[in-house]
Structure 1
């Protein structure tokens, strides 16, 4: 994983961002089961970037907050300039994709 990414830990919350401070100009949220947070954040960030790489000035941010049953995931990021309302719908669709969700959790599963 690239050292160009900032990983911030605060009170159990893990935030992965390219720039500090992390900023959400656009975002969507979902719940995911327990998994290694940094690995999970990187998995989500990769698909987020693939889905929005054509958005000029986009810089992904993924935040994972612990819940009783896993993680509350907020994905989105910084946008330099204007963004269309459809960007948040695109992020929401990405976070809702069953195949991607399964892959993310499988790749970041907790080792017992």
Structure 2
């Protein structure tokens, strides 16, 4: 697997995008989004979460997207090697997921 490759796995009705397999969510934040393209959405969310947490030593992002009701449940987070401030890291992920500008961009592009 090259440096630019990601695991994209369908598991139990969810699409999971992760750098390592098996995936591990040491930290995770969930949100609901309208229905859209799961694969592209997962990669867009992963990129934005990575940008927000790239300074977190040992962070390996992962995103799980599941169809639920009339939309999508998105769980973003990932694995962290070593000690970290969970409250701060999850607050940063939540800020990414709840940003109106991010959500609008994701839904525009994830068709």
TM-score (norm 2): 0.93
Q: Return the match for 1:90 from 86, 92, 95.
A: 92
Report what 2:7 is aligned to: 6
Report what 1:18 is aligned to: 19
Report what 1:58 is aligned to: 59
C-alpha distance in 1 between matches for 2:15 and 2:29: 16
CA drift at 1:3: 5.5
Unaligned runs of 5+ in 1: none
C-alpha distance in 2 between matches for 1:14 and 1:3: 18
Give the total of aligned pairs: 108
Q: Deviations over 1:2-45 (max 9, x none)?
A: 75200010232100000001110011000011111110000000
Summarize the Cα distance change of 1:3–1:54 in structure 2 as closer, same or farther, 3 Å threshold.
closer
CA drift at 1:69: 1.3
Instruction: Report whether the alignment pairs 1:42 with 2:40.
Output: no
Unaligned runs of 5+ in 2: none
Report what 2:80 is aligned to: 79
Q: What RMSD over aligned residues (CA atoms) do the two structures have, in Å?
A: 1.2
**Off by >3 Å, runs of 4+ in structure 1:** none
CA drift at 1:102: 0.5
- SS at structure 1 position matched to 2:5: coil
